[in-house]
């Protein structure tokens, strides 16, 4: 699961250029994508 989480974070980071979004906002977006 850790690897999957890292992959999703990488995908989010590529989409979000701002460093702020790389934090909790990025994680929340990733989690939302999984639920959907």
List, as one string, the DSSP characters of the chain.
Answer: -HHHHHHHHHHHHHH--STGGGTHHHHHHHHHHHH-
Q: How far apart are CA 5 and CA 17, in angstroms?
A: 19
**Worst-scoring range by mean pLDDT, 1-5, 19-23, 24-28?**
1-5
Residue 31 in this model has a pLDDT that exceeds 70: yes
Domain with 15 in it: 2-35
Which percentage of the chain shows pLDDT scores above 70?
14
Average pLDDT over residues 5-24: 55
Q: Evaluate whether 12 touches 29 at the Cβ level (below 8 Å).
A: yes
State the pTM of this model. 0.31
pLDDT at 1: 44
Q: How many domains does the chain have?
A: 1
Q: Which residues touch 25 (CB under 8 Å, ≥6 apart)?
A: 16
Q: What is the pLDDT of residue 21?
A: 52
* CA within 13 Å, CB half, 34: 14
């Amino acid at each position: 699961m850790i690897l999957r989480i890292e992959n999703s974070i990488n995908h989010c980071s590529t989409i979000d250029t701002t460093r702020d979004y790389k934090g909790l906002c990025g994680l929340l977006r990733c989690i939302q994508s999984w639920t959907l």
